[in-house]
Copies of this chain bind each other. A is one copy, B any other.
């Protein structure tokens, strides 16, 4: 998906992402890209198999150069987290133990609150094949696990980082913007706009004998109005629809349809249809 705007300020900061013994440069690059997508920028590597810097990582990062350039490499996990106040370990399954387990959303909210209070935080991600060892997990404060399909639980490392990064970004959005937005931002037309449209349509239908039998007309009109009023059409939409009805009502087909019942009348010059949306 495109849409990057290089004029906008780059969002950086957030918790450190710590990859323990990552193997493929491509994965490291995709992790950097996922972090950049959601405003994280601090990447730390513990003993990357293929060394560092790694051209494959840069290529896969799709221009998340600020993350790649700032990546720090450590010999041990202990060293990589030495300056941090709080660390999450990510695991595929909750393990036995005394550590609290959270989902990514709750974990991100916790990280946000901690960092706002001045703590330095990080999130550990394990090797591609088998994740983190129990000893590594024991160095963390709490565990993050993902609500995956138990029968198909294998997330790759870039996806696991993507989800945490996404929840980090979400956690910083104002509550109002998290509120589900139900309904269009369009300003509904006034009732008189709507009534004018409804009157126009009813008159055009009445002139064609649409309301039959006549005794049923009131009920049919009610039904039509209910359909037209439910959507909360905007003034612009009403204008467009009035133009449509006007064209159908005033002008005939320019050439006969194969199966059309009445012969259409050829329009003459002065009755040329008005282009759509021209109804005042």
A253 to B250, CA, bound (A): 9
Q: How many residues of A contact B (CB 8 A)?
A: 120
**Is B10 touching A91 in the complex (CB atoms < 8 A)?**
no
Contact with B along A1-22 (1 / 0, CB 8 A): 1111111111100000000000
Q: A82 near B: Cβ within 8 Å?
A: no
Majority secondary structure of chain A interface residues (helix, strand, loop or mixed): loop
Q: Chain B residue with minimal CB distance to A132?
A: B1
Which residues of chain A from 61 to 80 have any CB-CB distance to chain B below 8 Å in the complex?
62-64
| A156 CB contacts on chain B under 8 angstroms | 1
Q: Chain B residue with minimal CB distance to A165?
A: B149
In the assembled complex, the CB of A63 is this many whole angstroms from the nearest CB of chain B, namely 8
Q: Chain B residue with minimal CB distance to A101?
A: B181
| Cross-interface CB contact of A244 among B9, B205, B263, cutoff 8 Å | B205
**Is A152 touching B234 in the complex (CB atoms < 8 A)?**
no
A66 to B243, CA, bound (A): 50
**Is B98 touching A36 in the complex (CB atoms < 8 A)?**
no
| Cross-interface CB contact of A252 among B11, B101, B149, B208, cutoff 8 Å | B208
Q: A147 near B: Cβ within 8 Å?
A: yes
Contacts A106-B181, A180-B102, A182-B100 given; does A248 touch B248 at CB 8 Å: yes
Contact with B along A158-201 (1 / 0, CB 8 A): 01101100100110010001111111111000000000000001
| A157 CB contacts on chain B under 8 angstroms | 1
Closest 4 CB pairs of A and B: A3-B92, A231-B231, A106-B180, A8-B150
Q: Can you name 27 A-B pairs with beta carbons within 8 Å?
A: A1-B126, A2-B131, A2-B154, A4-B92, A5-B151, A8-B150, A36-B152, A38-B148, A98-B186, A98-B237, A100-B184, A103-B173, A159-B159, A204-B248, A205-B247, A205-B276, A207-B254, A207-B257, A208-B248, A208-B251, A208-B252, A209-B267, A210-B251, A211-B275, A224-B240, A231-B232, A248-B248
